[in-house]
A = this chain, B = another copy of it.
Amino acid sequence: MLRFTKRADYGLMAVHYIALNQEYGAVSSKRIAEEFQIPAELLAKILQRLAKKGLIMSQNGPKGGYALADQASEITVGQVVRALEGPINIVNCLETHQCPQMSRCNLRRPVLKIQAGITQMLDTMTLAELLGDDVPMTELVTNS
């Protein structure tokens, strides 16, 4: 229901954590998993995927772990999300499957508009922007 998977959640948390702590050396998957209390193997898989996509660099062996492949200001939230969840498609009729009423459907334009808006939001938000602010802001939670 228009929701990120935990893959994206965990991935963003992890990348964020790496960005914060990599100056003291590579950050291991295990450490991040403990920090956020998420299953180590699951997180490992996520990080592997990010490494495969070239967003983070992996280093094997003791003292190994992950580090950002680029500056935090050069990596966008959209890149991380797409690396983990594939291309952003709000509806499935526009990708592989074809809606039988493709020709009559007037929903494509608005849907694409929404999609483009979301994509742009994600792509203009870099990791660097996530690092600064640590205010609680619980009051922003608006379950409309």
Instruction: Report which A residues bind B (CB closer than 8 A).
Output: 1-5, 8-9, 12-13, 16, 35-37, 77, 81-82, 85-95, 99-101, 103, 105-110, 112-114, 116-119, 121-122, 125, 129-131, 133-137, 140-144
Contacts and interface: CB of A to CB of B under 8 A. Distances in A.
Nearest to A133: B109
A122 B144 CA distance: 12
B114 A137 contact: no
A137 B7 CA distance: 32
Q: Which secondary structure dominates where chain A touches chain B? A: loop
A118 B117 contact: yes
Nearest to A115: B142
Contacts of A3: 2, 89-92
Contact of A106 (B109, B118, B131): B131
A90 B105 CA distance: 26
Interface centre among A100, A114, A129 (most CB of B within 10 A): A114
Given A141-B112, A143-B95, A4 B90 contact: yes
